Amino acid sequence: MASTVSISHLGTLMGGVHTVDQVGAEERAASLAKRSIKKSAKLWALDLAIRCIDLTTLEGQDTPGKVAALCAKALRPDPSDPSIPPVAAVCIYPALVPVAAARLRGTGVHVASVATAFPSGQTFTSIKVAETREAVAAGADEVDMVIDRGAFLSGNYQKVFDEIGQVKEASGRAHLKVILETGELGTYDNVRRASVLAMAAGADFIKTSTGKIQPAATLPVALVMMEAIRDFHRETGRVVGFKPAGGIRTAKQAIAYLVVLFETLGPGWLTPERFRLGASTLLNDILMQIQRERTGAYQSGDYFTID
Amino acid sequence: MPERVDVRKTYKLFINGEFVRSESGRSYRPDGGINVPRGSRKDLRDAVRAARTAFAGWSGRTAMNRGQILYRTAEMLDGRREQFIAELGGTEPARQEVDAAIETWVWYAGWTDKLSQVAGTVNPVAGPYFNFTIPEPSGVVGIVAPEAPPLLGLVRRLAPALCAGNTVLVVVSEPHPLPGLTLGEVLATSDFPAGTVNVVSGIRRELLPWLASHMDVNAVDVTGCTPEETRQVEELAAANVKRVVHGTSNGMTPDAITAVMEMKTVWHPIGV
């Protein structure tokens, strides 16, 4: 496991955060999103997208039954088609981790639990740490934590840094994804700064959003975060993954993220070990696109399972 | 006073409540002078998506409200009567055709809140149950408009489908698309929720296979199709058991409404 960087090194890293060129980032993201991926390349991209999905349900009305259904879908997204691969992980609230863990044990599909008072992150550090520990003990092998935006926006970077460090320690061998909630950070500069902070504090993945705030993931924000990952990798040699989440509903959007990922971080990141898509409705749209590509007929949501 | 500049109209597709250019960026000239958008399969896909999204809202409206909106379509069409007469050639038959079209909207407007009483039944069953059969809208209906008469043929197929509570996408006549496209402007001001009616123009053979094979379309009205096209639609429609409706543009009948509806039977125990 990679160690966190020292405080002095963090200072250098944070000091080295340059102002993000907003117009440039948006223009580049928009031009990459226009790239046309068709036919066999599209099928390849859709297959990769499925393998990278964190199939998510984060609702107050989630039941063990719903999580069980989601797990079934995660293992076999299209019951009529065994050539469709399983997704990367199932992402759920901590209380439902035992249900998912029991269903997914030994299948290769990971159990990701949100933690640290998701989605607001506004509670005591001790509780966040305890929540993480319980989630991991219950069987989660990935933890999606939120940063304390209140502390970050008031300039208390130290608190955010320490908290991520403690949660990282509490999550032990579980993979830690740190949610920046970019919709609440206000500027691209803050996004970049929060990315560096999270990576320096030990994040295995940085993730855009909880999905509870609008705007959630956008392409320019993703580009800024990926560039932060790229520069951090050059600086420290540590590999950090990226997970956009929230608002990614169509296969077209998913492919746009893959294009930006490829152009920014290179082919090394086109794997579920380094890239995830947090989504729920996206999976059905991808399945429909695959069917459309294979059969030549536009598809209907009526013929795919509701999740 | 100087003569004002000639304002030439750009005809557009009507999809999801908006007038849009074709995704293809192409057009064709059916009568040599006017550019008509040449809708592509992606325009068709967008129209089906819009219709599917609008379906719950439109079919969920009260029958009374649907009737009001159909009646308003008659009002709007009446307000543009002269324009349509001119577009259809300005002759006496054109005048009669427009008047018949207006009348058709009024006639089907009256049917919205009467249909389930007339077409529905209470069935006698051997058991302590009520047994009802109730007509429900099929869903998304694709209509291939008859070539002639260009306006009335379309209205005679479109009005009953909307009356039933379906959402519709119309492929207008290929050689005479203008009345259909102008009707889109009437529909746009008639309080139909966005996506309830979509109007696509283009080359029939480029659009028809995509419409007929689309899994999210529940019925296709082939009144305007040639026998060859009808056969193709019927074959492709089999994939998701679409209703294929062979209609006529002569006269008005409640059968035209039930042709794009499904009869659903429900049981309810007596005394519960």
Taking only the tens of pLDDT, chain B with its 272 residues reads 678 998 888 899 999 999 999 999 999 999 878 999 999 999 999 999 999 999 999 999 999 999 999 999 999 999 999 999 999 999 999 999 999 999 999 999 999 999 999 999 999 999 999 999 999 999 999 999 898 899 999 999 999 999 999 999 999 999 999 999 999 999 999 999 999 999 999 999 999 999 999 999 999 999 999 999 999 999 999 999 999 999 999 999 999 999 999 999 999 999 87
| A159 annotated active-site | no
A209, A179 contact by CB (below 8 A): yes
More confident residue, A75 or A19: A75
A306 HSE (CA, 13 A, CB side): 2
Tell me whether residues B216 and A298 touch, CB distance under 8 A: yes
Q: Does B222 map to a domain?
A: yes
| Helix or strand holding residue A294 (H, E) | helix A282-295
Instruction: Tell me the C-alpha distance between A232 and A215, whole Å.
Output: 26
Q: Residues A211-225: what's their mean pLDDT? A: 95
Q: Of A229, A242, A235, A228, whose CA–CA distance to A275 is shortest?
A: A242
- pLDDT attached to residue A9: 78
DSSP character string of A171-186: HTTSEEEEE--GGGT-
| Helix or strand holding residue B200 (H, E) | strand B197-200
Total structural domains within chain B: 1
pLDDT single digits (tens) A265-283: 999 999 999 999 999 999 9
Q: Does pLDDT of A170 surpass 50? A: yes
- pLDDT attached to residue B218: 97
Q: Which of A54, A78, A141, A144 is catalytic?
A: A144
**Domain containing B114: what range?**
13-24+34-269
- Whether A297 has its CB under 8 Å from any CB of chain B: the answer is yes
Q: Does pLDDT of A148 surpass 90? A: yes
B52 → chain A, closest CA residue: A300
DSSP character for B239?
G
Contacts with A, B 33-92, CB within 8 Å:
45, 48, 52
Q: What percent of chain A has a predicted confidence (pLDDT) above 90?
A: 93
Tell me whether residues B216 and A297 touch, CB distance under 8 A: no
Instruction: Tell me the C-alpha distance between B205 and B233, whole Å.
Output: 11
Residues 6+ apart with CB under 8 A from A284: A301, A304, A305, A307
Confidence category of residue A2, pLDDT binned at 50, 70, 90: very low
Q: Does B3 map to a domain?
A: no
* Residues A28-37 as b or e (16 or more Cβ within 10 Å = b): bbeebbeeeb
Q: Does pLDDT of A1 surpass 70? A: no
**Between A298, A301, A303, which is nearest B214 by CB?**
A298
Contacts of B216 in chain A (CB under 8 A): 298-302
Other beta carbons less than 10 A from residue A59's beta carbon: 11
B45 → chain A, closest CA residue: A298
Q: List the single best residue of A36, A281, A284, A298 to mutate versus B (max B Cβ within 10 A).
A: A298
Q: How far A33 CA sits from the closest chain B CA (Å)? A: 17
DSSP character for B3?
P
Tell me whether residues B48 and A298 touch, CB distance under 8 A: yes
Instruction: Tell me the C-alpha distance between A80 and A73, whole Å.
Output: 12
A189 burial (CB, 10 Å; 0-12 / 13-18 / 19+) is middle
Which amino acid is present at B180?
Answer: G
Q: Of A264, A273, A188, A278, whose CA–CA distance to A231 is shortest?
A: A264
Q: Of A108, A111, A112, whose CA–CA distance to A51 is shortest?
A: A108
A300 → chain B, closest CA residue: B216
Confidence category of residue A17, pLDDT binned at 50, 70, 90: confident
B142, B219 contact by CB (below 8 A): yes
Contacts with B, A 142-201, CB within 8 Å:
none
| A207 annotated active-site | yes
Q: Residues A55-71: what's their mean pLDDT? A: 96
Torsion sign over Cα A101, A105, A111, A115: positive
Instruction: Tell me the C-alpha distance between B6 and A56, whole Å.
Output: 57
Give me the CATH topology for the region A7-295: TIM Barrel (3.20.20)
- pLDDT attached to residue A11: 77
Contacts of B214 in chain A (CB under 8 A): 297-298, 300
Q: Does pLDDT of A66 surpass 90? A: yes
Contacts with A, B 234-253, CB within 8 Å:
236, 239-240
A291 → chain B, closest CA residue: B215
Tell me whether residues A298 and B239 touch, CB distance under 8 A: no
Tell me whether residues A298 and B45 touch, CB distance under 8 A: yes
Q: Which of A141, A207, A231, A285 is catalytic?
A: A207
Q: Does B155 map to a domain?
A: yes
Tell me whether residues B215 and A296 touch, CB distance under 8 A: no
Instruction: Tell me the C-alpha distance between A233 and A177, whole Å.
Output: 17
H-type alpha helices, chain B: 41-60, 63-79, 81-87, 92-111, 115-119, 152-163, 178-188, 204-213, 227-237, 254-258
Radius of gyration of chain A (CA): 19
**Between A298, A300, A302, which is nearest B210 by CB?**
A298
The label of the residue with tokens 């209509």 reads B143
Q: How far B142 CA sits from the closest chain A CA (Å)? A: 14
A243, A232 contact by CB (below 8 A): no
Tell me whether residues A299 and B215 touch, CB distance under 8 A: yes
Other beta carbons less than 10 A from residue B53's beta carbon: 16
| A204 annotated active-site | no
pLDDT single digits (tens) A234-261: 999 999 999 999 999 999 999 999 999 9
Q: Does B257 map to a domain?
A: yes
Tell me whether residues A298 and B240 touch, CB distance under 8 A: no
> Phi/psi class of residue A121: alpha, beta or left (left: φ > 0; alpha: ψ in -120 to 50)?
left
Q: List the single best residue of B55, B215, B236 to mutate versus A (max A Cβ within 10 A).
A: B215
Q: Where residue B48 sits, what CATH number does that domain have? A: 3.40.605.10
